[in-house]
Structure 1
Amino acid sequence: MPEDTPQPVVTSESVRLGVLLAAVGGFVDVYTFMTRDGVFANAQTANVVLFGIDAAGGHWRSAAGYLPPLVAFVFGVFVAESLSSPGLTRVVRRPIRAVLVIEILVLFVVGFVPESAPNAVVTVSISFVAALQVTTFRVLVDQAFSTTMTTGNLRSFSQAIYHRLSDGDTAAGLRAVNFGSVIAGFLAGAVLGAFAVRVLGVGAAWVASGMLVVALALFLFDEWRGVPRVRC
């Protein structure tokens, strides 16, 4: 194969999967915000800030309430990294698909948790799922990105637009399209999440679970097509 021939993009780093997972990220953020008293469980920045505010005011009991999702996020990162470790890959042959299966099951169970249940039950579960996803899916074609938050993607999108306009860099233009698609996917997921919560209430989590089933199906479809895969 000639050196200048583009290498095929593996499923886990493809734009279509990135857009779908970003949609799940936007959906879940809206889900926790609307069903769990305005909590965003995907990103942990707010939890750290709110912990600091309460700690500074000496409200230690209130501050402690922000620790469970932080601990769950750290645990999720540990689980995701462990699944890809050489020792476990002998048992879990396809760690990326295993992560998707775990996410699907957790979100399916979350859909049964009533609004009367403590918020921590859901926010801890979602934080764990977010950690799995953000740790496992970190590359969009050949660029770092995130499926659970938009800030970094927006920066990369803006940089790509700048270099396309100022330098005429066609590769930067393609990166802008890729990141723009992911950002649009996140927004679309948020809109879908808002509608789903209004119709299904806490059961809207099943929609997010179903979206991840579609993501898992992409791996099976690409395998059937014979698409080369490095990470599965």
Structure 2
Amino acid sequence: MKHTKQMSESIRLGIILAMSGGFMDAYSYIERDHVFANAQTGNILLFGVHLSQGEFKLALSYFFPVFAFMLGIALAEYVRSKNIEILHWRQLSVLIEAVILLGVSFFPLTLNLPANALTSFACGIQVESFRKIRGNGIATTMCIGNMRTATQNMFHFFHKKDREYLKKALLYYGIICCFVIGAILGNIFCQHFQEKAILCCSVLLFVAFIFMFVDYERAAASVDTK
């Protein structure tokens, strides 16, 4: 099980997933009626605001992505429980996520509600399937937890002069930067390709799917030589 764990915790996989996370949020916000794909706290807040103002249609446009996000988490857990032999469950999860976003690219702007729900569904799969990088609990679809942990480790570095804290802090800050890069790419692609921009994110996830095979082989070879 050791090499299986390492397969889904490599830094380069984390970089790709963080970029895809930032891309999805930028895409849904810029191109799909200012709804967040990942930031469900923002969606819940706006759901409550519009609900209080009697704007029920707008409120639902924020509720369904939240509900779909939860369904994505549930699906990831279901895939995990099936113990599929052909693929590792995380590989299957990222493949499903890539296919879903591929489908979203064919939704016209008149169908933003189901498009946002599906995008959040994919984000739910990702946030549940990939929780660690090199043994550190890191989210690739949101930043607030990463920011807290990064700053905490940076404080301990300055306080205790232990370079391990610095390494962890830089890892967390690096993932946040990758998320920002994904958001920048999302904005650029949205300007040029509109609703089709999400295809770029789908490609990133297909690359992540392929990298997981490579990381699996490297980790397995490392275990064999010990």
- On whether the aligned pair clears a TM of 0.5, the verdict is yes
Q: What letter corresponds to residue 168 of structure 1 in structure 2? A: K
1:58: how far off? 4.5
**Equivalent residue for 1:81?**
77
Q: Describe the superposition over 1:99-140 as per-residue Cα deviations: whole angstroms up to 9, x where unpaired.
A: 01111101111111122x221111100110010000111112
Q: Is the 8 Å Cα contact of residues 69 and 123 (structure 1) preserved in structure 2?
A: yes
Change (3 A) 1:93 1:207: closer
Q: Describe the superposition over 1:150-191 as per-residue Cα deviations: whole angstroms up to 9, x where unpaired.
A: 111111111111111111121111101211210111011111
SS class of match (1:220): helix
**Equivalent residue for 2:96?**
102
Structure 1 gaps of 5+ residues are 1-6
SS class of match (1:118): helix
**Equivalent residue for 1:51?**
47
Q: Is the 8 Å Cα contact of residues 10 and 227 (structure 1) preserved in structure 2?
A: no
- 2:134 matched to 1:141? yes
Aligned residues: 221
Change (3 A) 1:214 1:191: same
Change (3 A) 1:29 1:49: same
Q: What letter corresponds to residue 124 of structure 2 in structure 1? A: A
Structure 1 vs Structure 2: percent identity of aligned residues? Answer: 33
- 2:118 matched to 1:125? yes
Q: Is the 8 Å Cα contact of residues 38 and 141 (structure 2) preserved in structure 1?
A: yes
**Equivalent residue for 2:146?**
153
Change (3 A) 1:8 1:40: closer
Higher helix proportion (structure 1 or 2): 2
Change (3 A) 1:147 1:38: same
CA distance in 2, matches of 1:229, 1:195: 40
Q: CA RMSD in A?
A: 2.2
Alignment map for 1:1-232 (pairs within 5 Å): 10-85=6-81, 88-90=82-84, 93-115=87-109, 117-227=110-220
